[in-house]
Structure formats: C-alpha cells, structure tokens
C-alpha cells in the first residue's frame, strides 16, 4: 500500500522569510528519496484544494474527486514526476494541471484502482471536509481551469495570512491580530475602528496605524508567496497582477 503525504494542515506552519519556489523544491529533490517525499508533501499542502476543486468543476462527484486527488498525489509519489519537470515549461501550476489531465485520462482505464481504499492510505484533510472547503470558494460560473486558478490564488493568500499570523504571534501581538484580522478581508464599517479601539484599550488612531502596518506586511508576504511559485523571481510583478486579476475577475 502506498502511503500518501499528509493533506494540508490548517494550523499555522513555521516559515522562513523566503519560501523555496515550487520549481526549486522539485529540482532539489532529484535523486534524494527523503527530499523527494518532503517536496511532494509541500506540494500536496499547496495544491490539494486547487486540484480537488478542478476535478469537482469537471463534474466528478465529491467522493470521486477526493479519490482522484489522493490517487494523483500517490501517483506523483510513486512515479518519476519529480525528475521530469522543466522550469522552462512555465508556471508550475500549469505543469501540474497538465500532469493531472494525463493521470485522469489513464485513470479511466483503471477505475477499479480508484475505489475508496483501493491501494491508497487515505488521511483526513482536517475537521472541515474537502467538499465544504470547496463549496466555500466555488463559483459555479467558472470553468474548471478558472476555478483551479481561483483556488490557487485563495490558497496562496491563505498561506500569506498564516505567515502574518505566525509573525504576530511570535511578536506577542496575537490578541491585536485577532481583533484586526477581519479588516484584512473587508473594509471596516462605520464604528468598527471605535469598537476595536475599545476592545484593545487604545485609541482609534492607534488602531488605524496598526491595521495599516498589517496591510503593508500582508502585501509583502503575498509578494513572497508569489515569488515562491516562480523559477525567476523577476517575474513576480507580472504574476502578482495575474493573481489580482484572478481574485477580482
């Protein structure tokens, strides 16, 4: 039985200032079994939900999409996938979706191997089921490729937000972060700053400064996460524009 890498852990993960690019993780893993598995685990954390969402938008049932996603990552673990990618072929997520399409095509001829438990060790994603996570971000009007891009963008932003949370916790500012975190997602309504100031026992002006700094740092972390998906960090500005376009349609 092939042991699968763990699915994404929703808890904050310790991270360095600069994450390795997906391409550099793949290339560094060549010929090193331990590094190879570690690389796949990292990719699984980043791409489990986008892959699952792509399959759901291709009209696979929740159970089949989960089995195919699990099977796909098991296939990557057992195959020579990590020895073949070429950074010159473009964005890693594009290369990965091409590999998924090939896998699904072959899987149709091996349907029995994809039944739940058929050769794979399944591991729970977290307390929130995959279908609930997919439903939370799904936009039915999107085609599968657009849904994949949106899931990738949301996952990337989530990674940046977790890094910011880690930093604030390490700096002893978790209580402040918890109060101001909602304002990183939506514009504060009338009275929100005053309520936050009362909760944090400070002034409205101080709340505004703290939130401004959090926004700035989150923007920096998003740029780092974007750069981590590229072989050439010089392409980050263009990729960031693409991410914003995906998020805002």
pLDDT tens for the chain, residues 1 to 249: 444 444 444 333 333 344 455 666 666 666 677 776 776 677 777 788 888 888 988 888 888 888 888 888 878 777 766 666 565 556 777 778 888 888 888 766 555 444 443 443 333 444 346 666 666 666 777 778 888 888 888 888 888 898 999 999 999 999 999 999 999 988 888 899 999 999 999 999 999 999 999 999 998 898 888 777 666 667 778 878 888 887 776
| Nearest-angstrom CA–CA distance, 30 and 16 | 23
Residue 67, both tokens: 């089995």
| Residue 127 falls inside a structural domain | yes
| Residue 209 falls inside a structural domain | yes
**Cα separations in angstroms, 154 against 43, 128, 135, 195:** 15, 17, 13, 29
- Classify each residue of 110-130 as buried b or exposed e, where b means 16 or more C-beta atoms within 10 Å of its C-beta: eeeebeeeeebeeeebeeeeb
| Nearest-angstrom CA–CA distance, 134 and 129 | 9
| Residue 222 falls inside a structural domain | yes
Query: How many domains are there within the chain?
Result: 1
| Residue 2 falls inside a structural domain | no
pTM for this one? Answer: 0.61
| Residue 3 falls inside a structural domain | no
Residue 32 structural domain: 8-248
| Residue 96 falls inside a structural domain | yes
| Residue 1 falls inside a structural domain | no
């Amino acid at each position: 039985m092939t042991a699968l890498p763990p699915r994404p852990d929703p808890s904050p993960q310790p991270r360095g200032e600069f994450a390795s690019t997906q391409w550099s993780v793949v290339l560094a893993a060549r010929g090193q079994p331990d590094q190879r598995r570690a690389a796949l685990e990292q990719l699984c954390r980043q791409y489990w939900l986008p892959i699952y969402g792509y399959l759901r938008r291709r009209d696979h049932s929740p159970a089949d999409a989960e089995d195919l996603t699990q099977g796909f990552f098991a296939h990557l673990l057992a195959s020579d996938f990590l020895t073949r990618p070429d950074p010159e072929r473009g964005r890693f997520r594009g290369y990965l979706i091409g590999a998924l399409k090939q896998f699904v095509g072959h899987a149709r001829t091996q349907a029995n191997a994809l039944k739940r438990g058929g050769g794979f060790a399944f591991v729970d994603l977290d307390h929130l089921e995959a279908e609930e996570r997919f439903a939370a971000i799904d936009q039915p009007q999107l085609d599968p490729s657009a849904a994949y891009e949106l899931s990738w963008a949301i996952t990337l932003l989530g990674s940046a937000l977790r890094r910011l949370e880690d930093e604030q916790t390490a700096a002893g500012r978790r209580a402040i972060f918890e109060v101001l975190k909602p304002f990183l997602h939506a514009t504060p309504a009338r009275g929100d700053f005053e309520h936050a100031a009362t909760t944090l026992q400070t002034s409205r002006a101080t709340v505004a400064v703290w939130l401004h700094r959090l926004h700035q740092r989150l923007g920096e972390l998003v740029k780092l996460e974007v750069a981590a998906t590229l072989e050439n960090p010089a392409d980050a500005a263009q990729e960031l524009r693409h991410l914003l376009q995906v998020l805002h349609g």
